[in-house]
Amino acid sequence: MTPQLQQAIRLLQLSSLDLHQEIQEVLAENPMLELDEEETTQEEPDIGPTEASNESASTDENIASVNEHIDQPIPKDLPVDTDWDDIYQGIPAPTPVSESNDWDFEQTATSGETLQEHLLWQLNLTPMAPTDRAIATTIIDAIDSDGMLTLDLEALVASLNIGDATQQVDPADVAAVLARVQQFDPVGVAARDLSECLCLQLATLRDDIPWRERAIEVARNHLDLLAAKDFATLMRKTTLDESQLASVVALIQSMNPRPGAAISPAQTEYIVPDVIVTKVNGRWHVELNRDATPNLRINPIYARLVKRADNSADNAFLKENLQEARWFLKSLTNRNETLLKVATRIVEIQRGFLEYGEEAMKPLVLHDIAEAVDMHESTISRVTSRKYMHTPRGVFELKHFFSSRVSTNSGGEVSSTAIRALIKKLTAGENPRKPLSDSKIATILKEQNIQIARRTVAKYRESLAIPPSNERKRLV
């Protein structure tokens, strides 16, 4: 493979964000390339003699008015309608300027306080003995991002007692410090299991909250029955009727099983669509997102310098960079043309999805597109990986439009994506008292002329993160 072909293949498989970074690096290294930006300049208006004289007269009047105010004596007590504390109290400290010229906006915008930092800040405000503070610091270090304590008391005591044998930590002291840490914000932090996490949150509610005590009882003693949706046994052990148990379950479900996630949220990932699909005059129109790929051109001034045709080192440097710039522009053009060609063909095949949704998705594999655009399947795989299409139904990866075929009773074919959409629709509209089993879903699909096995239904249901029927059962 030639270097030019390697570069073309590498650009083809880059996402829009990676391609933008690659372009920035090439622009920094190759002086022959530059951004093709249309610069617009605004000319200053020509002021006539009448306008100029009027402006001069107005300016003289303003200067005279200012001088008149300056000459007046300044009173000792100036009238104010605010206080210095009101002005400067809420102003944040300025961000320190780094010695480097690089400024990462995304890191600055998304960098927030971690859960450990939030808990240590509260610990510094809590009066404690040095030994208790060391225990609390160890406990905070053992808390994961969800706010749960990853070590039990025995492991905490063992980790604290490593070292000086004359100063052993008492397990009762560790338990007492743990109880104090569990009072920190967010509520439910430092719990050893889900039951304790829910009980900590329920205990902070007001005493007049209905069913508070019974919710604590269920969360502490019968959480396994609640997780298994065994409402009959739960009602028998708690002596609650169905409506009362429904109120208790609703109160428990209003708690946060992951209290630490609110302090340290997950990193935000941005997606820049490579292709934009719109409907114009009843026809679907496909175009590249020009904002994702900036326009490049060869610097005309440097290109004219190459025409000197001398043998100097500077001219040789310019010739080499000119050739590399042409290769890069050609590879970039090939990438855009291939991406547009593949996306257009996908839209032609999946117009039903754009019109009616996932239930109208047609079966499609890489070989179908490769045959339609006369390219190799490996090329189609590269051009559809990490490339996104913006449609009126949302932003989807190009891989989303590919799915396997499932035969129908009449000899036709239906895509697996359409079957997943049907399963999702069936489970969303089922009776919550009697959820549909996988066998029942397979039977319903067979009635719709879709031949599918129960285990295939289970596989598709699990891919949609839909729990089995016994876990979907709930009280109304």
The answer, as to whether pTM is greater than 0.75, is: no
Q: 425, 422, 438, 423: which is closest to 471 by C-alpha?
A: 438
d(CA 346, CA 350): 6
Strand 388-391's sheet: what is its strand order? 283-288, 275-280, 388-391, 394-397
Element (H, E) at 303: helix 300-306
Given a cut of 70, the residues of the chain with pLDDT beneath it are 1, 38-112, 163-167, 264-268, 308-310, 411, 475-476
Element (H, E) at 407: strand 405-407
Residue range 294-334, pLDDT digits in tens: 788 888 888 887 776 667 777 788 888 888 989 999 999 99
pLDDT at 62: 45
pLDDT at 118: 92
d(CA 177, CA 137): 10
pLDDT at 407: 74
In angstroms, the Cα distances linking 148 to 126, 189, 259, 281 are 21, 6, 8, 55
User: DSSP character for 205?
Assistant: S
Structure tokens at 414: 């239906």
Hey, which residues does 276 pair with through a beta bridge?
Answer: 287, 390
pLDDT at 308: 65
**What type of residue sits at position 397?**
E
pLDDT at 108: 39
Residue range 98-143, pLDDT digits in tens: 444 444 444 434 446 789 999 999 999 999 998 899 899 999 999 9
Please count the CA atoms within 13 angstroms of the CA of 390 that sit on its side-chain side.
13
Structure tokens at 431: 């009776």
Where would I find the H helices in 192-289?
A: 194-203, 212-221, 223-227, 231-238, 242-253
d(CA 353, CA 115): 43
Q: 184, 183, 182: which is closest to 192 by C-alpha?
A: 182
